Structure 1
Amino acid sequence: MSLNTDVAFVQEDKDSGSFSQKPHRSSLRPVPNVQELVRNDPLQVPKRYIRNEEDMPKEADICHHLSSEIPIIDVSLLSKGDNEELRKLDLACKEWGFFVMINHGVETEVMQGIKDAADKFFELPIEEKNFIAVPSAQRQGYGFNQAISEEKILDWSDRILLGLYPYRHRKPEVWPPTPLKEAIEIYGSEVRHVAEELLRSLSLIMGMEKDVLLELHQELAQFLSVAYYPSCSMPDKVLGLTPHSDKASITILMQDDGLTGLQLKHEGKWVPVKPIPNSLVVNVGDAIEIWSNGMYKSIEHRVVTNESKARLSYASFFAPHEDAEIEPFDQMVLNSPESIQIYKKVKYGEYIKEGISKKKFYEKEQIEFAKIGS
C-alpha cells in the first residue's frame, strides 16, 4: 500500500468522505505519467525515478527457490471450518505474513473481466484517462495528485485508486467509464465476500468466535488499486513500488498471469511471488499485526519492473472504520513470549494520520507508533 492508499482510509471531511492533507506547495512538483513517458521515449528514465544503488534488488538477496514454499490456502476448506486448513492459515500468518488462496469462489470470468477492461482503459489516450484524474488534495482517481515532495524518489507505476465500501467512501466523479466501471463493481463485490470469509477464519485461529473481527471493524472499509507497471529500459535502477508494509487489516491481490513483479521479504531475503492462475495473494496488514500482538506479521513487499513488458495488478485493501480501536487480544498476549503485550490500544484513524504526519510510509516504520513505550 502506498501513501495515496493510506490517506484514503482516513475520513476527516464528513461531507466529502475524504481526508484532506494540506501540503506545502513550494516543495512539490508535478508527477509525470509513467506510461506516457514510455510511449514518448522508451529509453527515457527521469532522475526522479532513479534509486540509490543500495536500494535496488541484488541477486544475492533474492531467493527464487523459496517462491514454491509460499503457503497455499484452500478457502473452500476454510469455509467448512477444516481444522488442518485453519492450522495452515495460522502458520502462514506467523511465518510468512503472505499466502496464496485457491478455491476462493471468485469466478474465473469475473477475474478475467476486470483484467480485460483494465487493459482497454490503460490503452486509452492520456486525454481520456485524465477525465478521472485525481483532484487536488484527494487521493482517489487515476494517477497521483501533485502532493509529492521534490526529494521523493518516485515509483515506476501509474494507478487507479477507488473507494468501494462503505458507499460514503465513493467518489463517482473519478470512477472509470464502462466497461471497467462495471467490472470493478462485480469483482469488488466478489472479493469482498472472500475477505469476510478470511476475517472469520482469522478470528477462529485467534481463539475467538468467527464473527468477532468483522464486528470489530464496525464497517469493513474496502479500497481497490489497479496498478499499471510499464516496461522500463533501466529495470535495475527503478522500482515499481517502494518496499513497505500495508496499513490495513488484509490485502487481497490479483496478479497478471505469467509475469512476476511482486516480491516479499522473508527472513531478510526477497522472495518473488510467482503468479498461479486463478489464485489470489493475501498479505497481513498492520491492523492484524496489532490485534495479534505481533504474532502475525505485516510483511514488507515491493514491486520490481522488467525491460520487455508492462504488467497490471489489482489490490483490494480491507481496513477497520477510522473510529475503531485496535489493541492486542488477551489470548494473543498470553500466547506471546513471556506473555508481554507489545502494542497499545490505538484508534485506527489516528494510527493512519500519525503515519501521514511523520511521513512513515515505507518499510515497517509506521507500526512503531503503536508499540508500548513509543
Structure 2
Amino acid sequence: MAAISNAEDQVSFSSSNNFSVQELVKQPIKTIPQHYVRLDHRQPVRSAPYGGRPSQMLPVIDMNQLVSGKDFDVELEKLHSTCKDWGFFQLVNHGVNSSILEKVKQEVEKFYELPLEEKMKYKIREGEAEGEGYGTMERDGGKFDWADRFFMTINPIHRRKPHLFPELPSSFRNALETYILEMQNLGKKLLCLMAKALKIDEKEMMEYFDDGMQSLRMTYYPPCPQPELVMGITPHSDSSLITIVHQLNGVDGLYVYKDGVWFPVSFLPNALVVNVGDNLEIFSNGVYRSIEHKVVPNAEKERLSVGFFINPKFDVGVGPSRSLISPQNPPLFKRVSLEQYVKGFFSQKLNVKSYLQHMRIHDNGEDNSA
C-alpha cells in the first residue's frame, strides 16, 4: 500500500500545469506525491443504496421513446422529473452509431499513447484562463487532479484556438468532427425536449443555445495505488446547459452527490450519461438542478472519457427563460453576458457550485444584470 509523501522532489513538478500524471505512473510509485493528496473531499460513499445496485439508482431515459415511442408523454414526464430531482441520467437508444463512438475511443487512446513531447505541443499556455489545451489542472491550495486532460472550445468554429484543434492529426480531427456533429444533433434534440417538458417555446430554447459555445474535454485518469487519497476531478457542477459524457473504455469512476451521499455511476452498455449544468438550472429558473459530481481513479486500471459541453450563445447571455418569469414566479438568478459568466465561473477554480450561488438574486432583490 502506498504511503503519503511529503517530499517535494518526488516528481518533476511544474506549477505551470504542464506536468503529466500519466508519465508519473509509468514506473511503479511507492508514495503519493503531496501535490495530489486530497483529504478535504473524503465524503461517505454509498455502495448499495436502498438494498440495490448503485447503477439502478441513476434514472435511465430511452431516446427511442422520446422520439417515436407510443409512451412519449410518460417518457417526457420521466425526463422532466429526472432533471428536477436528479439532474443526471443515463441515455440509452440515443441513436449515435457505435462505429463513431469506437473511432473516437481509438483516436483518444492513440493520442494518450503519444510520447509526452508530442502531447506537449498542445499544452495549456500561460495566461489561458479557461485552461484550453493539454495538461493537469491545479486546484485551490496548490493541489492537482489525478488526471491528464485535453480541453478545447470547438464551437463557434472561429473560437477554436489555431494551435489546438486545427493542428491535430487528420485521423483524430476527422473522428472528432464526426463525433461533434452527432453530439450537436443529440444535444439539440434533448434541449428541445426539455423545453417542451418545461412548457417553454422551442424557438426560445433554440435562440438561447443553437450554434452557441461548445467545448470538449478528453480525460485520461491513470490508475492510482491509493485512489482514496486523490481526486480524478474535483467535486463540482458543470457550467453548461447540458453535458454529454462518453465513457470510452468501460472503467467506472464517476460519482454523483445526492441526499448527502456519493453514489457511484456504473455505465450501462452503449449508454451515454447526460447531466444538467448550472446554465440550465439558471435558464429553467431553478426548476432543473445541476448536481455535484466527481471522478475517483481506479486502483488498477486507467479510465478514459470524453465530455461534450453545450452552452448558450455568446450574444444572448445567461439568465432565466423570459417565458417562465411572472409576478408569481420572479427570477431567481441574475442576467449576465456569457463572457462575464465564463470568466466568473473559471475564477472560482471549480469550487463545487459556488458560482451558481453567486448568480442567485438575494432576498433583497439585488440583481446586477445589465
Please report the TM-score for the alignment, with normalisation by the length of structure 1: 0.84
User: Does the C-alpha gap of structure 1 residues 257 and 41 become closer, same or farther in structure 2, counting only changes over 3 Å?
Assistant: closer
- Please list the CA deviations of residues 40-68 of structure 1 after superposition, one character each: whole Å capped at 9, or x if unmatched: 4433421110012x422434588473421
Are the equivalent residues in 2 in contact too, given 1:295–1:332 (CA < 8 A)? no
Are the equivalent residues in 2 in contact too, given 1:51–1:237 (CA < 8 A)? yes
- Please list the CA deviations of residues 306-345 of structure 1 after superposition, one character each: whole Å capped at 9, or x if unmatched: 110001000000001233233333664569xx74542232
Match of 1:370 among 352, 356, 359: 359
Q: Tell me, what secondary structure is at the counterpart of 2:217?
A: strand
Are the equivalent residues in 2 in contact too, given 1:134–1:141 (CA < 8 A)? yes
Are the equivalent residues in 2 in contact too, given 1:224–1:316 (CA < 8 A)? yes
User: Does the C-alpha gap of structure 1 residues 184 and 294 become closer, same or farther in structure 2, counting only changes over 3 Å?
Assistant: same
Counterpart-to-counterpart distance in 1, 2:83 and 2:326: 18
Q: Percent identity?
A: 35
Kindly indicate whether residue 297 of structure 2 is the aligned counterpart of residue 305 of structure 1. yes
Look up the match of 2:56: 68
Are the equivalent residues in 2 in contact too, given 1:351–1:369 (CA < 8 A)? no
Q: Tell me, what secondary structure is at the counterpart of 2:141?
A: coil
CA drift of 1:31 comes to: 4.4
User: Does the C-alpha gap of structure 1 residues 59 and 199 become closer, same or farther in structure 2, counting only changes over 3 Å?
Assistant: closer
User: One-letter code of the match for 2:41?
Assistant: D
Kindly indicate whether residue 66 of structure 2 is the aligned counterpart of residue 78 of structure 1. yes
Look up the match of 2:94: 104
Are the equivalent residues in 2 in contact too, given 1:67–1:273 (CA < 8 A)? yes
Look up the match of 2:308: 316
Q: Tell me, what secondary structure is at the counterpart of 2:308?
A: strand
Look up the match of 1:269: 261
User: Does the C-alpha gap of structure 1 residues 211 and 71 become closer, same or farther in structure 2, counting only changes over 3 Å?
Assistant: farther
More deviation, 226-235/73-82: 73-82
Counterpart-to-counterpart distance in 1, 2:64 and 2:47: 35
Please report the TM-score for the alignment, with normalisation by the length of structure 2: 0.85
Counterpart-to-counterpart distance in 1, 2:193 and 2:135: 35
Kindly indicate whether residue 350 of structure 2 is the aligned counterpart of residue 361 of structure 1. yes
User: One-letter code of the match for 2:359?
Assistant: A
Matches for 1:1-374 after TM superposition, within 5 Å: 28=15, 30-52=17-39, 54-59=40-45, 63=49, 65-80=53-68, 82-138=72-128, 139-144=131-136, 148=138, 151-175=141-165, 176-217=168-209, 219-329=211-321, 332=324, 339-357=329-347, 359=348, 361-373=350-362
CA drift of 1:133 comes to: 1.9
Counterpart-to-counterpart distance in 2, 1:243 and 1:191: 24
User: Does the C-alpha gap of structure 1 residues 157 and 149 become closer, same or farther in structure 2, counting only changes over 3 Å?
Assistant: closer
Q: How many residues align?
A: 342
User: Does the C-alpha gap of structure 1 residues 341 and 131 become closer, same or farther in structure 2, counting only changes over 3 Å?
Assistant: closer
Are the equivalent residues in 2 in contact too, given 1:42–1:232 (CA < 8 A)? no
CA drift of 1:191 comes to: 1.0
Are the equivalent residues in 1 in contact too, given 2:54–2:265 (CA < 8 A)? no
Q: Tell me, which stretches of 5 or more residues in structure 2 are unaligned?
A: 1-13
CA drift of 1:119 comes to: 1.1
Counterpart-to-counterpart distance in 1, 2:322 and 2:346: 29
User: Does the C-alpha gap of structure 1 residues 315 and 234 become closer, same or farther in structure 2, counting only changes over 3 Å?
Assistant: same
Counterpart-to-counterpart distance in 1, 2:53 and 2:332: 33
Are the equivalent residues in 2 in contact too, given 1:343–1:371 (CA < 8 A)? yes
Q: Tell me, which stretches of 5 or more residues in structure 1 are unaligned?
A: 1-26
Look up the match of 2:5: none
User: One-letter code of the match for 1:275?
Assistant: F
User: One-letter code of the match for 1:51?
Assistant: R
Counterpart-to-counterpart distance in 1, 2:308 and 2:28: 32
Are the equivalent residues in 2 in contact too, given 1:241–1:302 (CA < 8 A)? yes
